[in-house]
Amino acid sequence: MSEPIGVVILGSTGSIGVNTLDVLARHPDRFRVVALTAHRNVEGLFGQCLTHQPQVAVMADPVAAEQLHDRLRVAGQQVEVLAGATGLERVAALPEAGYVMAAIVGATGLLPTLAAARAGKRVLLANKEALVMAGSLFMTAVREHGAELLPIDSEHNAIFQCLPPGFAATGLEAAGVRRILLTGSGGPFRTTPLEQLLNVTPDQACAHPNWRMGRKISVDSATLMNKGLEVIEAHWLFAAPPEQIEVVVHPQSVIHSMVEYADGSVLAQLGHPDMRTPIAHALAWPQRLASGAAFLNFTQLAKLEFQTPDFGRFPSLQLAFAALETGGTAPAILNAANEVAVQAFLERRIRFTAIAAVVEWALERVAVSAVETLTTILAADAAARMVANEWIAARTPEAC
């Protein structure tokens, strides 16, 4: 029997990280945990270290890293503790690991995910910002360093499963693909009267009807920015032009996405809304293994509905399509401004409806340039954050 494959989880205390550990624990003969990382959640990472016994643990926050180090030593655990961005990049490239789960939310995940690609790992990509911000550079790194890139977002994983083997070499047109159909539930405000959106609270925005996710991603799902970022991600993952990608609102979240072919066939991937399914698929590909997710009972399914997204209700989705069309650093600007705006909303410094306004403001005022280097991308990210923060600082919550 071959040795278990070493796995690094970037962002292990988040929902994707926790679900990944659940799947790994079901198959100890196939996988072993090499490294775990978190931002500031010392308690969460400490508990995971006790249970899963990694070689290395990383806290992005240096103070938290010291606290974790002290707690592990008191507990008699010989786990190496690293800190900061350097520590994240180092564990992403550890030679003991073959697979890296990239599950850090936001722009912070870009550099360690890129480090994993440059180290030739199988990258299980849950951090969509790596492709949104630096799609061309990231895909070049994957090709040049012989990395494997498998999508973890339920939608992109579904599309991957519905595409024919070898599509990356032939291209979508040669594979007979007409359209990629990205499904989304529409979030908690799909039918909320528009005038009520002005006063929704962070807790209401985070109450997703089908999925249990972190607060930032939950807000993105409520604005449909998450779907917009997924459109950009799909463009890079599948070399699909914007006009070949369509968003379909599907409230039940049973069909995770579809691929339409030139002969009229439509292939869809179905399953319960459980992230362990795409995680298990990417870990085992091209084989299959048990994930722990429940199986569908088709006789008990409710009706399946499909709707066209309303750009008036979800302006963030339209902004994402526009940024993709513009190209260059526009998607990085979009992502950075959105991160700032969502955080401000969660802190009750702006209203829910102001999130898209902040993003639009940044896209109008930050110059777009060609993506030539990582420095170019990071500069656009920093400029967008500055402009977004200026917009927020100039207004009271009641005024926006």
* DSSP H/E element including 183: strand 177-184
Under 8 Å between Cβ of 160 and 124: no
Torsion of CA 176, 178, 180, 185, to 10 degrees: -130
Place of tokens 């995680």: 279
Taking the whole predicted model, whether its pTM rises above 0.85 is answered as yes
Q: Greatest CA separation found in the chain?
A: 64
Place of tokens 């802190």: 347
Buried b (16+ CB within 10 A) or exposed e, 94-130: beebbbbbbbbbbbbbbbbbbbbbbbbbbbbbbbbbb
Which residue type occupies 302? A
Residue 249: its pLDDT value, please? 95
- Rounded to 10 deg, the angle between the 215-223 and 354-365 helix axes is 80
Residue 398: its pLDDT value, please? 65
With H, G, I as helix, E, B as strand and everything else as coil, classify residue 180: strand
Domains of the chain: 5-151 (3.40.50.720), 175-271+309-399 (1.10.1740.10)
Can you read off the two tokens belonging to residue 111? Answer: 């550099």
Residue 214: its pLDDT value, please? 75
Mean pLDDT (the chain) is 94
Buried b (16+ CB within 10 A) or exposed e, 294-304: eeeeeeeeeee
Parts of the chain with a pLDDT under 70: 1, 208-213, 397-400
Residue 1: its pLDDT value, please? 57
With H, G, I as helix, E, B as strand and everything else as coil, classify residue 200: coil
